[in-house]
């Protein structure tokens, strides 16, 4: 199951006194934001390196052609729970050992001068730029982390709660496999009609769209053996093979790295397959045919092919759609 859904801060570790920070014992159960602010200072980081403890730096990069408002949910507090990231800009935060949480991008936000408002996708329901302990309203692409303390970090990019924009996670300066992961594809263009959010700005998970236990891996399906990938999750997986496509997609979607810093990029460079898709343009007959046929295949697999039907063979778009689907599934 994806990290942020299953991982809670672990039990307290042995206390560690830190020279220069009097009266504080390093213990994850009491590692509060006040302590972390001390440790995040230049002097604090120097002291931490001296005792073998160092903060992890997260760098957020916005390569989208629009502003993104990242949201943060995790413990301990990182000093902010949401901020504006304009097109082409970056911002960094430090997180302490043992930090566990998630990041996501909000889009289509309208905030007034006092920071009050809401977002079209990824909204956290706080009515503010700051999320204040609230998570993203699905659908939203999530980057999830559990940082080690002298042990590996665990991280993933999850589409379990749906998708709203491309996101990539890259590590630097660490040891181990430290793979780059994420979803660089524009799934809003590939989203089956029955999963598409009105306006086409996000793509729901099958769990949220239909609420059935077999899609949500709940009830009698709450185990890896009982909950298999659905045709809908396979659409996500084919487009973004390193991302979580459903709750028990651990084997190919969770990654580890020790002692690394991380860059979270919104709208990373498109892959060749995505570029070829974009060449046809949004709303083109090729794209419409592909989405319609993909939806029909998914509905057929779930026993509801009557919901949408592929184009008639007499329609030239049908042949284009078949060609697209075959190339899409093997790419």
pLDDT tens digits for the chain (331 residues)? 554 443 333 333 333 333 333 333 344 333 444 444 444 444 444 344 444 558 999 999 999 999 999 999 999 999 999 999 999 999 999 999 999 999 999 999 999 998 899 999 999 999 999 999 999 999 999 999 999 998 999 999 999 999 999 999 999 999 999 999 999 999 999 999 999 998 889 999 999 999 999 999 999 999 999 999 999 999 999 999 999 999 999 999 999 999 999 999 999 974 433 333 333 344 444 444 444 444 444 444 444 433 444 433 434 344 344 444 444 444 4
Taking each helix axis as running N to C, give the angle between helix 285-301 and helix 316-330, from 0 to 180 degrees, rounded to the nearest 10: 70
Q: Which of 201, 107, 183 is nearest to 143 (CA)?
A: 183
Report yes or no: 4 and 142 within 8 Å, Cβ to Cβ.
Answer: yes
pLDDT at 200: 87
pLDDT at 53: 58
Is 231 buried (19+), middle (13-18) or exposed (0-12) by CB count in 10 A? Answer: middle
CA angle 212, 100, 10 (to 5 degrees): 95
CA atoms of 27 and 17, how far apart (whole Å): 9
pLDDT at 199: 85
pLDDT at 115: 87
CA atoms of 253 and 249, how far apart (whole Å): 6
What is the DSSP track for 48-107? HHHTT--PEEEEEEE-SSS-BEEEEEEES--S-SB--B-TT-EEEEEE-TT-EEEEEEEB
Please give the model's pTM, rounded to 2 decimal places: 0.70
Encoded tokens for 317: 């778009």
What is the DSSP track for 24-39? -B--TTT--HHHHHHH
Beta strands 90-95; 100-106: pairing state? unpaired
pLDDT at 198: 86
CA atoms of 286 and 323, how far apart (whole Å): 10
How many alpha carbons lie under 13 Å from residue 161 in its C-beta half-sphere? 24
- Domain ranges in the chain are 3-270, 280-330
What is the DSSP track for 97-143? TT-EEEEEEEBS-EE-TTSBEE-SBS--SSSBSS-TT--PPSS--EE
Is CATH 3.90.1640.30 the classification given to domain 3-270?
no
Q: Which of 268, 34, 55, 9 is nearest to 143 (CA)?
A: 268
pLDDT at 69: 98
């Amino acid at each position: 199951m994806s990290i942020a859904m299953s991982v809670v801060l672990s039990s307290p570790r042995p206390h560690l006194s830190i020279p220069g920070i009097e009266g504080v014992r390093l213990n994850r159960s009491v590692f509060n934001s006040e302590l972390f602010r001390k440790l995040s200072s230049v002097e604090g980081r120097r002291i931490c390196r001296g005792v073998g403890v160092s903060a992890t730096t997260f760098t957020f990069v916005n390569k989208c052609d629009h502003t993104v408002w990242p949201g943060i949910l995790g413990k301990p507090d990182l000093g902010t729970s949401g901020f504006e990231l304009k097109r082409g800009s970056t911002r960094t935060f430090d997180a302490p050992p043992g930090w566990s949480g998630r990041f996501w991008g909000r889009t289509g936000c309208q905030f007034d001068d006092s920071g009050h408002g809401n977002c079209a996708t990824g909204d956290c329901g706080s009515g503010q730029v700051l999320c204040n302990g609230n998570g993203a309203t699905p659908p939203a692409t999530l980057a999830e982390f559990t940082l080690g303390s002298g042990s590996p970090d665990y991280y993933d990019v999850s589409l379990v709660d749906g998708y709203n924009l491309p996101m990539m996670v890259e590590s630097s300066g660490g040891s181990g496999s430290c793979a780059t992961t994420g979803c660089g594809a524009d799934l809003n263009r590939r989203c089956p009609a029955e999963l598409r959010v009105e306006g086409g700005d996000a793509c729901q998970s099958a769990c949220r769209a239909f609420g059935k236990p077999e899609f949500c891996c709940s009830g009698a399906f709450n185990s890896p053996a009982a909950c298999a990938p659905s045709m809908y999750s396979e659409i996500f997986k084919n487009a973004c093979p390193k991302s979580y496509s459903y709750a028990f997609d651990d084997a190919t979607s969770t990654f580890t790295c020790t002692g690394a810093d991380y860059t979270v990029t919104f709208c990373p460079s498109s892959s060749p397959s995505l570029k070829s898709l974009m060449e046809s343009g949004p709303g083109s007959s090729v794209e419409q045919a592909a989405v319609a046929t993909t939806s029909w295949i998914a509905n057929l697999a779930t026993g509801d092919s009557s919901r949408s039907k592929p184009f008639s063979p007499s329609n030239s778009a049908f042949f284009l759609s078949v060609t697209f689907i075959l190339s899409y599934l093997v790419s």
